[in-house]
Chains A and B, each alone.
Chain A
Amino acid sequence: MTTLSLPRPRTRPLISWRVRKLLIGYSYLVPAALCMLATVVVPIILAIKMSLYADVLYKPQDYRFIGLGNYVRLVQDPVFWLTLWNSVVWVFGSVILQFVFGFAAALLLQQAFRGRALVRTLTLLPWIIPGVVVGLIWEWLYQPNYGVINDLLIRAGWMHERVAWLSSPDLAMAAVVFTNVWRGIPFFAIMLLAGLQAVPDELYEAAHVDGAGVLERFWHITLPLLRPIIVVATATRIIWTFNYADLIFVMTGGGPANATQITSTYTLLQAYSSLDFGYAGALSVVLLLVMLTFTALYLRVTKGVEETE
């Protein structure tokens, strides 16, 4: 028998190619995972732990485990319940108006006209500038003595006296909501504009030939086709507005007399001004629960939207 010279068997690598590929994949994820772990996951766990302790930064001698003490205090705190109601007013007031005006803006910006690109960029400005800048600009506009809003309204004859918009308990919430609407219109405008541009022209033309008027075309073509993007944009905006504290913090600090205090600014003040980390922790857990509920709802709704498409 002649010895058959077989090719030398390939040495089996210590780790199989498949596993190696997987390990490489995981190693690419490590930095991002560490970032999230250090800045989100661990802090959340820490916040939950804090909520179970009496933890006021400048009273270290009182630091101790108090179980659900902070939550009991929360339930009995009338300001907390007020902030929840204020949050509802703030979120729905802002988002509904942003949506309506943002939709109108999207329809306008979709028209063909000269200088459209420039107008689109300019109208986005309120959305991209820092929140503190928005707050300060509007504080100056609302300023009782030198603010241009009072001046214009008086000149137009709609008002006879100067109004202290941000320090009047009846007007402060409307004033901050209006500012937030100014800021948020561009968000809806760009989202809906992108949706509008994806609607094929043929649909409109066919409807046109069939004699459908402008309003009918809007109602039967534009709205149904835009439904997915409307749902996504509105849902993200609701969650985001609920969490958003910068604007109110800068403009009123939650005042006057908690008239504009929403749950997120209240949490911020407990952590930042009162340095009561225990109570802030309990409030954070509430924020977290509300956020998770919204997100779960959002995922369900968007999933539903995708399936019906």
Chain B
Amino acid sequence: MTRRHVPRDLAERLLGGPVVWIGLVLLTAFALGPFIWMLLTSLKDRQELYATPLQYLPVRPTFENYVDAWTSPVTPFSRFFLNSLWVCSVTMVATTAVSVLAGYAIARFRFAGRDALLLIFLATQMFPSVLLIAPLLTQWRALGLVDTYQALIYSNFSFTVPFTVWMMVGYFSSIPRDLEESAMIDGCNHFGALCRIVLPLAAPGIAATAIFAFVVSWSELLFAISFTTETSMRTLSAGLLYMVGQYEVQWGPLSAGVILSTIPVAVLFSFLQRHLIHGLTAGAVKG
């Protein structure tokens, strides 16, 4: 409140008023404009879609494109959607289990090579996934795993596990040791203390990390196109690309597909935004 009485200079008055408002409007329009255009496109019928001159708003909004995309026998979007749902859910659960254990070990036990291990997990996050395609494909072919969900799920570990371990170490380190130690004196073993004391306390963070693993797997494209050949095995990302590859691009159903694949991640993200931003910046922003 006292700040109000200090005289402001011209630059500050400008920045506080119109510049901020114009900036915010431009920023929001720039971020959302492309989505809104895609949404409008998905609601137009063929005639409106390819009208000259361009028709901006759908006069007769229709959900035909959504029905087409969802039920198309050539590019079965419903199948892509379920494939993605399954692959991402299993990836999420497995990744979380693995990284809870590893994160706990790194946060609680002092052992040789601990820092090196953390560094490896950090470095792998920067890893180019294109590098892994040829060797992983060779590996999956040798194991007969091409066109299976397992190949996609295992491959997803290469980018989900390093990140989630890193996040878990952060969460567990912030929980005081005394709690577990008293539990262990009362007769709990390590695993019991982890399950009964540490996990409940770290639950919000773990949930956020798990959802993040889901979201990044949802976006994964290169593994999905490389390790599956059958249409029925494609995930959403791969399926959308496949829709482009069929004949000429059908922008109507494709735009509906784009909107449908955006909604789940957008909804999930709005829930975990606060946690995620905290986790992402915790390493970087310090006192």
Contact = CB atoms under 8 A, between A and B. Distances in A.
A49 B54 CA distance: 54
B54 A108 contact: no
A171 interface: no
Interface stretch (B59-67, B71-79, B202-210, B273-281): B273-281
Interface in B35-81: 35, 37-38, 41, 49-50, 52-54, 56
B132 A40 contact: yes
Nearest to A34: B98
A105 B236 CA distance: 31
Interface string B69-110: 000000000000000000000000000011101101110110
Interface residues of B, number: 97
B132 A39 contact: yes
A226 B219 CA distance: 31
Chain A CB within 10 Å, residue with most, of B34, B130, B190? B130
A127 to B, nearest CB: 9
Nearest to B239: A132
A122 B38 contact: no
A31 B37 CA distance: 45
B179 interface: no
B126 to A, nearest CB: 5
A122 B134 contact: no
B130 A284 contact: yes
A220 to B, nearest CB: 15
Interface of B: 3, 6, 9, 11-12, 15-16, 20, 23-24, 27-28, 30-32, 34-35, 37-38, 41, 49-50, 52-54, 56, 97-99, 101-102, 104-106, 108-109, 111, 117, 119-121, 123-124, 126-139, 154-155, 157-158, 161-162, 165, 190, 215, 218-219, 221-222, 225-226, 236-237, 240-241, 244, 251, 254-255, 258, 261-262, 265-266, 269-270, 273, 277-278, 280-281, 283-287
16 contacts: A21-B190, A31-B97, A31-B101, A32-B161, A36-B121, A43-B158, A121-B273, A123-B32, A130-B261, A131-B237, A132-B219, A132-B237, A140-B251, A208-B6, A215-B11, A271-B133
